[in-house]
Homo-oligomer: A and B are copies of this chain.
Amino acid sequence: MQEKFEQISRPVVPEMETILGKPFSVLDEGFVRVVDYMGSDESIVQAARVSYGRGTKKRHQDRGLIRYLMRHQHTTPFEMCEIKLHVRVPMDTWRQWIRHRTANVNEYSTRYSIAIDAAYETDPHAWRLQATVNRQGSEGFLPVAVGEKMSEREKELHRLSREIYEERLQAGIAREQARKDLPLCTYTEAYWKIDLHNLLHFLKLRMEGHAQYEIRQYATTIGEQIVKRWVPLVWEAFQDYILNAENFSSLELQILSALYKNDTQKATELARAFGWIVYKEGKLTGNIERLEFEKKLSALQIEIPWK
C-alpha cells in the first residue's frame, strides 16, 4: 500500500460546540438538546468524493456539490452525518415521532421509574377547532371563554389521574401497571440518534403545514436552531430543494405548458379530460386533484383558467 494518509481529527463545528447540552424549550415543559454530533458540511463533501475519486476536488465547490446531491437525491453522503438529541416530549407527540423507524432510541422507562410528573397543558386560548376540509387537521381557535372551561376540566382530569397513579404506587402496584391510565399527553424523555438524511426526511414531513402543531414545534426547533447551525450549506439546499420546492405531476405539467402559451382553452380541455372538471347542478364540484393544482397556480400567481 503506497498511499499515505495523514493523521486526522474529528470535525468540529464551532456553532454546535456552543449549544451542546443546552435545552431549547418547546411547548410548556418540553425541550430538545444536542448531546453529540458527528460530521459537518465538509464530511458530506468528503464522502461524496469517495465516489468521484481523488482527482476531482477542484471541480466542485462544496456548496455546489451539496446542492447537486440534494437536488438529485443522492442521499448516501448525508447519511455520513449523525446527531444525538435528548428530547422531552408529550407521549402523544412521541407516538408520531417514533413512527420514523430509521433512528436509534432510548426512552425513559415508566416500568423502571416513576412517570415524569408533567403533562402538556393547554391554555384557554389554545384549543384548536376541527378543520372542515382536512379531516385530520385543525384551524382557528375556540373562544377563550369556552377555552377557559376546557382548560379547567383538563386540570381536573390531570389532577385525578395523577392522584390515582400515586394511590396505586402507594398500594404497591407495579409501575408498569400503575401507569396505564396516565393521560396521553404525559411527558416522556428519550435519547434520539439519527443520521442527517433521515433527519431531513423527518423535518420535511414534520415541519410541513399538515403536521400536527405540537410535533411541528419540535421539528421547527430542530431545523432552525440545530440543523441550521450544524450544516448550514445543507440547510440552505434543503430549504430550496425540499421545504420550499413544489412538485408538478405529469398532468399538471401539460396544463402548465398550455398556460405559458396563453392557451387557456387547451388548459381547460386537459383538465376536463383528466376528470377534474365536473359540474353538478350547474356547480363545479370539488375535485381534490384540481383544487390542489389551483393552490399551486395561485402560489405562482398564475390565473386559474377555468374560473
Contacts and interface: CB of A to CB of B under 8 A. Distances in A.
Given A150-B171, A253-B299, A106 B31 contact: no
Contact of A184 (B35, B72, B184, B243): B184
Contacts of A174: 128-131, 137-138
State the main secondary structure of chain A at its contact with B. Answer: mixed
Interface in A213-271: 213, 239-241, 243-253, 256-257, 259-261
A277 interface: no
A281 interface: no
Contacts of A176: 128, 136-138, 212
Interface in A66-107: 67-68, 71-73, 76-77, 79-80, 82, 84, 86, 88, 90-92, 95, 98-99, 101-102, 104-107
Question: Which one of A36, A102, A128, A179 has the highest number of Cβ atoms from chain B below 10 Å of its Cβ?
Answer: A36
B180 A90 contact: yes
Interface residues on A, range: 35 or more
Given A8-B35, A112-B52, A177-B138, A47 B300 contact: no
Interface in A174-206: 174-177, 179-186, 189-191, 193, 195, 205
A94 B64 CA distance: 31
Interface string A129-161: 111000111100010001000100110111011
Given A9-B20, A36-B43, A193 B80 contact: yes
Contact of A142 (B52, B171, B301): B171
A243 B248 CA distance: 11
A132 B109 CA distance: 17
A1 interface: yes
A249 B193 CA distance: 29
14 contacts: A9-B20, A10-B37, A36-B43, A46-B191, A53-B113, A64-B288, A111-B137, A137-B176, A180-B185, A193-B195, A240-B249, A253-B300, A260-B300, A261-B301
Nearest 6 A/B pairs, CB to CB: A53-B113, A138-B174, A8-B21, A244-B250, A79-B104, A111-B136
